[in-house]
Amino acid sequence: MSKKESTSTLWGGRFSEATDAFVQRFTASVDFDKRMYRQDIRGSIAHSEMLAKVGVLTEEEKNAIHTGLRDIEAQIDSGEFQWSVELEDVHMNIESALTQKIGIAGKKLHTGRSRNDQVATDVRLYLRDEIDVIAQELTRLQKGILELAEREADTIMPGFTHLQTAQPVTFGHHLLAWYEMLNRDYSRLQDCRRRMNQSPLGAAALAGTTYPIDRELTASLLGFSQPTRNSLDSVSDRDFAIEFCSFAAILLTHLSRASEELILWTSSQFNFINLPDRFCTGSSIMPQKKNPDVPELVRGKTGRVNGHLIALLTLMKSQPLAYNKDNQEDKEPLFDAVDTVRDCLRAFADMIPAIEPKREVMREAAKRGFATATDLADYLVRRGTPFRDAHEIVGKAVGYGVKTGKDLSDMSLEELRQFGGSIDEDVFKVLTLEGSVAARNHIGGTAPEQVRRAVQVARKELSER
């Protein structure tokens, strides 16, 4: 252990020796929790406003506190504020600076609260602010998807199961599947915000306080829907952070799936789309390469966010009530999850509207793999053939196509009739790619008409947020 050092802590009265210098650094959180300084100052202003209302502070003391805190915020904004590891965290750094600035009134600010309820309040305020920013980026991404989906409502591409050509779909329809995933993510994010939007301030260390505080007032001043209802739970709850990271993990899973498709589609093997150069990088050795680094990196960051979720679940799983120092470890995973989500959404929201589909390549790909085989089976069923018989007939026709190198739509009527069933000239209306997608003209179907209608419904939803 390194040598002992004297400190200027605000809690040292009970201690007979200074904290070890290494322990001081090991237990300090100011290097990462200082990002919450605005929320900490906002909470302190609300707390002092309440203390003045209930008579614990005079108006003069309250005004001095408010002025001092705003001056400190301006100092931090400008980069002039000197953070101290000796003062452990963002709360004690700001309180110490306030006391130096305004004297004894600064020492009264902490009346009726603890760092336990203070940090719980700050983290909620911080996460609430970040959720609102993330919600805006998520909405921007969804708008970009709708813009591209509407533009490509008639663009035909192969739809896949098992990464094998299954049926023709429209590119717009495929993009709307991404939209629906993100729509559920948005709903989860708002649920998280609603549940976390309760004020722990006033719970104090764990049991509440003997001062005549007004928790409804501080909750209102800070924009919370209500105070939390149990002081023990208030200071030890980190469900909201876990829930946010759960949202983040699901969101990144969805972005990762979309990333995988973008990566495949930009490959020379698929060649379905072009990503503008500004979203790609080259190779240091292979001059021909154009790498889809943005979607690849988003795909990679999914594991990072999943790790943060597991870290927080593990952090909380064995903690007895109420607050424990373990909870200091909640912030770095949460903060990094926030940053990662925000950056990934920004990258996607910028990139998606700039995608350049290669429509003819997509259409030619949809012609391979007998994508209209199900349409032929449906045609036979409508003409009285039992489905299992129709399935066998079409299977034989596909086998013939494999041998001859012909798609179903390229076969003659005589060739199709040799396998059985009642087939007439009108069969070619359903064997074309356009006929196939147009036939699925129902809610949720891939028909261009349905894609455009779904875009309009989605735009109305977004306008009501």
pLDDT per residue as tens digits for the range 245-280: 999 999 999 999 999 999 999 999 999 999 988 988
pLDDT per residue as tens digits for the range 223-238: 999 999 999 999 999 9
pLDDT at 75 over 50: yes
pLDDT score, position 25: 83
pLDDT at 16 over 90: no
**How many C-alpha atoms does 134 have within 13 Å on its Cβ side?**
30
For the chain, list the domains and their CATH numbers.
12-111 (1.10.275.10), 116-363 (1.20.200.10), 369-463 (1.10.40.30)
- Tell me how crowded residue 5 is: count the other CB atoms within 10 A of its CB: 12
What is the average pLDDT across 136-159? 98
**How many C-alpha atoms does 79 have within 13 Å on its Cβ side?**
0
pLDDT at 122 over 50: yes
How many angstroms separate the CA atoms of 324 and 333, rounded? 17
pLDDT per residue as tens digits for the range 188-222: 999 999 999 999 999 999 999 999 999 999 999 99
pLDDT score, position 17: 66
162 has catalytic annotation: yes
Name which of 220, 212, 222 is nearest 56 in CA terms: 212
Residue tagged active-site, from 8, 187, 267, 283 = 283
Residue tagged active-site, from 16, 78, 162, 284 = 162
How many angstroms separate the CA atoms of 351 and 357, rounded? 13
How many angstroms separate the CA atoms of 371 and 157, rounded? 10
Beta bridge partners of residue 4, listed in sequence order:
20
